[in-house]
Chain A
Amino acid sequence: MSQATQETVREDGLIQSVSGPVVTAVDLDARMNDVVYVGDEGLMGEVIEIEGDLTTIQVYEETSGVGPGEPVENTGEPLTVDLGPGLLDTIYDGVQRPLDVLEEKMNSAFLDRGVDAPGIEMDEQWEFLPEVSEGDEVAPGDVVGTVEETVTIDHKVLVPPNFEGGEVTAIESGSFTVQETVVELDNGEEITMHQEWPVRQARPSAEKKTPRIPLVSGQRILDGLFPIAKGGTAAIPGPFGSGKTVTQHQLAKYADADIIVYVGCGERGNEMTEVIEDFPELEDPTTGNPLMARTSLIANTSNMPVAARESCIYTGITIAEYYRDMGYDVALMADSTSRWAEAMREISSRLEEMPGEEGYPAYLAARLSQFYERAGYFENINGTEGSVSAIGAVSPPGGDFSEPVTQNTLRIVKTFWALDADLAERRHFPAINWSESYSLYKNQLDPWFVENVASDWPEERQWGVDVLDEESELQEIVQLVGKDALPEDQQLTLDVARYLREAYLQQNAFHPTDTYCPPEKTYLLLTAIHHYHDEAFKALEAGVPVEEITAIDAAPRINRVGVQENYEEYIADLKEDIAAELRELY
């Protein structure tokens, strides 16, 4: 979180009451959303309501022991994030305090309070490479130079969007801290590698465009059936233990975005630890570099203060927009947006606001859509293109999707990955229900898959979907009469559908090879099952009994495709063997 600039400090107020994270103060001269320091210990908070002389503040730290009469100091500035090199390969709390710095400053493994730290290291030196020369005209958003932030990412130093821009009068090259001026403009504006941006305000862009490129995830069911676009939005609702976090982690690991912003919002500490321990070791599938080099983490776990949980989503999306402005494709995962909504509800109820549905504040729908609206495929103000894809987990109480957070989210997002407790219980992972889920991007992404993977990608997919649909109809009959009562061709369809479910839809996130499935492999695996289908039906027509067809040795090898590294060869052999074995039967 950015430090307040001293000159704007206004008059102090006094605490009037304290109730959990909500504090009221009198005599505080403040505007809505100003950041304030509360009490003798200077706990960070934000103004969320002003009524006459009474100001209500949500406090981002624990308030035990804080009492009436203690001072409240206003910074006069809204909640902002520090933007600049150093955002990547870092883990923050919900108000952008780096957790490693906090550990060091507090000298403890436990989070103490009243300690602040800037979002990026102010004294670290970075090698600035100018990209403009004296006399050049630069406008807001323009790139004036680059910094190698990590092995993967060149950080573009931008003219801040709230500057006027003008002619470059001086430019530096070499090693600087983020506070030092690297470019001066004729109107006196000085550009450093550091800028601040208020988190609740979207960064400006030139135009929002229709997304046409998939965010390739390496997850068969996603890429194959329900793809999300770069710049798209997706929701993953599901009951506890159904696989929201694993899916989000898979996306963070394997999605072909340039930058990943992962927001752990009100979830488990150990899940963040897992990311911190794994990502430096894991390879980014696109560059081969450590995953951490493209990742920024925000961790406001369930036991951390609830007000900071409310803000962590904004902190995350603002960082994402900043990299988008550099022309990067950013993917943001928020796990879980329900905890964010609950934080709003908790604060709202302490304010005694009129509750809406299920006690959530009436503005829940508006906040959710404002958040997802910040995603998109954009033309930036500097003319480059960049994207923010937003993928939110939703944790509906009792797993019931009719609740307000799920429903309001579904009204906005275009991709819906519905997790299913039944599938999870039988360890069908990812437990994404294929008949409930959808992607509204499917058609606009098809041209990309046709051009880059296979010319009959849409047709193959449709074949698979049809077989699965037929299966679910047949299953209803099977439930009544048993499988053996079905005609032979339908029994065979069930067998084919089983391979679709077990080999194609299922994917083991914990298997070193199966965990990532490139689109080519996704496609080939589907064609292998299709091939089995065609050959099997030919055999059936030739009079071979269905038990003999399904008993061939080659077919179960379809289930092993996922774990093959040399899948092309394996699938080619497999197809040949299936045909040979079946043709021998007639």
Chain B
Amino acid sequence: MKEYQTITEISGPLVFAEVDEPVGYDEIVEIETPNGETKRGQILESSDGLVAIQVFEGTTGIDKNASVRFLGETLKMPVTEDLLGRVLDGSGQPIDGGPDIVPDDRHDIVGEAINPFSREYPEEFIQSGVSAIDGMNTLVRGQKLPIFSASGLPHNNLALQIARQATVPEDDESEDDSSEFAVIFGAMGITAEEANEFMEDFERTGALERSVVFMNLADDPAVERTVTPRMALTTAEYLAFEKDYHVLVILTDMTNYCEALREIGAAREEVPGRRGYPGYMYTDLAQLYERAGRIEGREGSVTQIPILTMPGDDDTHPIPDLTGYITEGQIYIDRNLNSQGIEPPINPLPSLSRLMDDGIGEGLTREDHGDVSDQMFAAYAEGEDLRDLVNIVGREALSERDNTYLDFADRFEEEFLDQGFDTNRTIEETLEIGWDLLSMFPKTELNRIDEELIEQHYREDVGDEPAEEVAAD
């Protein structure tokens, strides 16, 4: 392999070098600094005689005397089932002191797009044990459902709660489903403290054994963050589609990933898009998020829960905005609910699961699920609206109907949402709490629920007196 000492320019994370042989786009480069350190990079642009290289580990220490080697292949992830239980750095090297990884195969980390014709529509209910999710924003296997959060909010606790509690309720018909469950955790630019939080929980609950952890921490090179999720997803696809695992991929924090993209774009002097992020960020994110799904004829599945912190709590910021346009819904963590002490502070109103409708109902969860959910949305939204009004005119100026909606909103938050990070509720329990609350209204007010279902579930005795605490445990 030929070595070049032809670096002409170093700029931010980029290195430009002259070459006298053709180098393929996207291929891997090794750069050896004069003090013997080896860094890896990738070809961003290849033209006759000149290449632009993006260096993963940062360009510190590289000078014009550094030597450059072109490996003639694109970046690969060594994959094997033995990865389960291992902790790797952001570019896939073990950092847990364990044995070397003997790969079963090496997969290109960019990944090819799943042929839409080969996909299978996700419709298998995952019980997360969290009422706001299961009841009103149901997650299914093969879905990509991000958590929209912001700094200082407990999104990590929620992610861990889901990772701990997620199950697919046993159904007699699908007993042949012997697939195992695995968690892939891809950390991008999180603090060491956050990382410890995750690792301790994984170790405490024994989840580590069925997990593969990729850690790019806040003080690790930013450019490496563009590789970490691809490593994680390549591993996930291997386990899901070749080894039949049901894989849950948690990626955190996508905001750091996007910052890294912006940094590279700026270094390349690209025309920036909205708020300085690259114009191709939608496509780039789609190439990650679309790697969730199910494939016809394969047992396993890839479910993604990416976490992002919205800069300035603003969901029109390009990072949450583009994410929302790609993923199949989103779960909002709400600052107000959090300061009220509600755990988990999920605001169901702006949250959404687009795959919910096919994953719930008779034979899947329960016949009344969809209607109960619709009615609770409508009622909580109305109650929320009235809160603004009540501040102006006072409760007395409101009708009895309006007052019931206000009471509903309060009890909904206390009983339905505020379950705590350690409570695991079945879907039955979640729906029963729903009925307890909805029975505060007269039957005619329940216009989103089928009349027969009202007859079946409506609590005749509850009326609008507060029911005894059902949920607080």
Contacts and interface: CB of A to CB of B under 8 A. Distances in A.
Contacts of A306: 280, 283
Nearest to A276: B117
Contacts of A62: 110, 112
A100 to B, nearest CB: 5
B246 to A, nearest CB: 17
Contact of B350 (A106, A108, A425): A425
B279 A65 contact: no
B398 interface: yes
Contact of B389 (A346, A479, A559): A479
Contacts of B399: 483-484
A110 B47 contact: no
Interface residues of A, number: 77
Contacts of B293: 269-270
Nearest to B443: A556
A108 B112 CA distance: 10
Range for the number of chain B residues in contact with chain A = 35 or more
B383 to A, nearest CB: 11
A17 B48 contact: yes
A273 B121 contact: yes
B22 interface: yes
B283 A346 contact: yes
B117 A91 contact: yes
Nearest to B270: A349
A301 B113 contact: yes
A147 interface: no
A109 B114 contact: yes
Contacts of B287: 302-303
B392 interface: yes
Nearest to B355: A270
B113 to A, nearest CB: 4
B286 A303 contact: yes
Interface string B421-449: 00000000000000000000000100100
B299 to A, nearest CB: 13
B46 A17 contact: yes
Contacts of B286: 266, 301-303
Nearest to A483: B399
B290 A68 contact: no
Interface in A66-89: 66-70
B379 to A, nearest CB: 10
A482 B296 contact: no
A36 interface: no
Interface in A508-562: 510, 553, 556, 559-560
A260 interface: no
Given A102-B115, A103-B118, A398 B22 contact: no
A275 to B, nearest CB: 9
A100 B117 contact: yes
A64 interface: yes
Nearest to A395: B325
Contact of A65 (B73, B120, B142): B73
Given A17-B46, A349-B270, A484-B397, A556 B370 contact: no
Contact of A67 (B46, B282, B298): B46
Given A18-B46, A66-B25, A270-B293, A397 B114 contact: no
B274 interface: yes
A31 to B, nearest CB: 24
A273 B354 CA distance: 14
Interface in B240-295: 241, 270-274, 279-280, 282-283, 286-287, 290-291, 293, 295
Nearest to B111: A110
Given A274-B121, A303-B290, A99 B321 contact: no
The interface centre, meaning the residue of B44, B46, B352 with most chain A CB atoms within 10 A of its CB, is B46
B397 A397 contact: no
A240 B116 contact: no
Contact of B22 (A70, A274, A425, A481): A70
Nearest to A24: B47
B453 interface: no
Interface string B388-404: 11001100011100100
B414 to A, nearest CB: 21
Contacts of A426: 349, 377-378, 381-382
A111 B46 contact: no
The interface centre, meaning the residue of B24, B44, B113, B271 with most chain A CB atoms within 10 A of its CB, is B113
Nearest to A69: B22
B326 A268 contact: yes
A482 B110 contact: no
A64 B287 CA distance: 14
B374 interface: yes
Contacts of B108: 64
A532 to B, nearest CB: 14
Given A301-B113, A359-B279, A240 B325 contact: yes
B378 A427 contact: yes
Contacts of A15: 22
B74 A64 contact: yes
A241 B352 contact: yes
A304 interface: yes
Interface in B298-323: 298, 316-318, 321-322
Nearest to A277: B121
B199 to A, nearest CB: 31
A473 interface: no
B122 interface: yes
Given A17-B47, A481-B393, A425 B349 contact: yes
B367 interface: no
Given A241-B352, A269-B114, A359-B273, A339 B282 contact: yes
B26 A110 contact: no
A342 B121 contact: no
Contacts of A91: 116-117
Nearest to A479: B389
Contacts of A397: 274, 316, 318, 321-322
B274 A302 contact: no
A69 B389 contact: no
B119 interface: yes
B25 A18 contact: yes
Contact of A269 (B116, B279, B321): B116
A480 interface: yes
Contacts of A112: 112
A241 B329 CA distance: 7
Given A70-B22, A103-B118, A241-B352, A18 B112 contact: no
B115 A270 contact: no
A11 interface: no
A210 interface: no
A485 interface: yes
A486 to B, nearest CB: 11
Contact of A240 (B272, B317, B324, B444): B324
B115 A110 contact: yes
Given A67-B24, A273-B119, A425-B349, A510 B393 contact: no
Contacts of A67: 22-25, 27, 46
A42 interface: no
A278 to B, nearest CB: 8
5 contacts: A18-B25, A241-B329, A302-B287, A359-B272, A397-B322
**List of 3 A-B pairs having minimum Cβ-Cβ separation, nearest first:** A17-B47, A398-B316, A302-B286
Interface of A: 15-20, 24, 62-70, 91, 99-100, 102-103, 106, 108-113, 239-241, 264, 266, 268-270, 272-274, 276-277, 299, 301-304, 306, 339, 342, 345-346, 349, 355, 358-359, 395, 397-400, 425-427, 478-485, 502, 510, 553, 556, 559-560
Given A64-B74, A109-B118, A269-B114, 18 more contacts: A20-B25, A65-B73, A69-B48, A110-B118, A111-B115, A241-B329, A270-B119, A302-B282, A306-B280, A339-B282, A345-B273, A345-B279, A349-B271, A425-B349, A427-B378, A479-B389, A482-B398, A556-B447
